[in-house]
Amino acid sequence: MSVGLIALLDDIAALAKVAAASLDDIAGQAAKAGAKAAGVVIDDAAVTPRYVTGFSAARELPIIGKIAVGSLKNKLLILLPAALILSFVAPQAITPLLMIGGLFLCYEGVEKVYALVLPHAAHAHESALEATSLDAQSLEDQKVAGAIKTDFILSAEIMAITLAAVPSGSIFSQAFILAVVGLGITAMVYGGVALIVKADDLGLMMARGQAMPPMGPFLRVIGRGLVTGMPYFLKALGIVGTAAMIWVGGGIIVHGLEAYGVGGLAHLIHGAGEVAVHAVPVLASVLRWAVEAAGAGIVGIVAGLVTIPVAGYVISPAWRYLKSLLPRRRRKEALADGKK
C-alpha cells in the first residue's frame, strides 16, 4: 500500500513538473508573441491620447477607463474567439478582414489631416456623415466609441501577429497565450496613456510643493517643466498618433496585397529601405524602419484619400437609409400588434 502511494506521489510530482514546464513554455511564447506585436502596441499608445484631449481633467481618467474596458472586450470577447475560429475554420478570411480594418485606419488618419489642411471642407464632410451634437455627454460617448473602434483595428492586428507567432498546438494553449498578451498589452498601453495625460497634474502638484532643500527646488523645477511641456508633448503625440494610423493601415494593405501575390508595392518599399541602409550603414535599422514606414504611409494616404469620398457619397447615405428603415419597420410592427 505504501509502495503504491509513493508511486502515485511520484506520478503526481512528474505531472506537476510537466504542468510547470508547460506554463513556463506558454509564458515564454506569450512574451515572444507580444514582442513581435510591439510596433503596433507603440502605435496604439500614440493614437489613444488624442481622444482624451479637450476634456476637463476630472473626465480624463474615466474616459481612459471606458476605452480600456472597451479594448479588453475587443480583445478577449470578440477578437480572441474570432481569431481562433477563423484560424481553424476559414484562415483565408483573416487577411481580407485585416485589410478592411487597415483601410478604416487610413480613412481615420487621412480625415484628421484633411481637417487640418481644409477645415471647412472637413466640417462639411463630417456634417454629411452625421449630425454634430453639442451635448458634453454625447461628445464624450462619441469620442469613446471612436477610440474603441480604432482600438478594435489595432487590437485585431496585435492578435493576428500574436497568433501567427504562436507555434501550432492545442486550442487551449493558443487561447491562453492570446489572453495573456491581450491583458498585458491593454494594461501597458492604457496605463501608459493614463500616466501621459495626468503628467501635467502631477507637475502642478510638484510645482506647488513645499518640500525643503535640496530636493524641494529641484522637484519644483521639474514640476514647472512638466506643466509647460506636456501640452506640446500631447500635440506632438497627436501628430505621431495620426501618422501611426496611416502607416499601420498602409502597412496592413501592403502586406495583404503581398499575401495575394501582388507584391510590387512591398518589394518597392523593401528595396527603398535596402538602398537607404547601404547608403548609411551606421543607421541601418533606424533607416530601414523609417523608409518602410514612409512607404506604407504613402500607400495609407492614397487609400485614405480614395476612401473619404466613398464614405461621404456611398457608405454614409446607404447607412442613413438603412437606419431610416428601422423606425418604419417598428411602426409597422406596432400597428400590426395594435390590430391584433
pLDDT in tens, 173-191: 888 888 888 888 888 888 8
Question: Among 121-125, 221-225, 245-249, 263-267, where is mean pLDDT lowest?
Answer: 121-125
pLDDT at 242 over 60: yes
What pLDDT sits at residue 268? Answer: 94
Quote the cell numbers at residue 61.
481618467
Separation in Å, CA 106 to CA 41, 202, 246, 247, 307:
17, 35, 5, 8, 8
The Cα 263–Cα 129 span in angstroms is 34
The Cα 238–Cα 49 span in angstroms is 7
The Cα 29–Cα 154 span in angstroms is 21
pLDDT at 290 over 80: yes
Would the pTM of this model clear 0.75, i.e. be above it? Answer: no
Contact status, residue 245 vs residue 81, Cβ threshold 8 Å: no
For 51, counting Cβ atoms within 10 Å of its Cβ (0-12 exposed, 13-18 middle, 19+ buried), the class is buried
What pLDDT sits at residue 122? Answer: 55
The Cα 82–Cα 74 span in angstroms is 10
Cα–Cα–Cα angle for 267, 305, 53, rounded to 5 degrees: 105
What is the rounded average pLDDT of the residues 154-161? 80
Contact status, residue 82 vs residue 94, Cβ threshold 8 Å: no
Single-letter residue type at 332:
K
What pLDDT sits at residue 64? Answer: 87
Contact status, residue 49 vs residue 241, Cβ threshold 8 Å: yes
pLDDT at 310 over 60: yes
More confident residue, 193 or 11: 193
pLDDT, averaged across the chain? 76
What pLDDT sits at residue 4? Answer: 45
What pLDDT sits at residue 2? Answer: 43
User: ω before 327 within 30° of 0 (cis)?
Assistant: no
The Cα 144–Cα 51 span in angstroms is 7
Quote the cell numbers at residue 181.
498578451
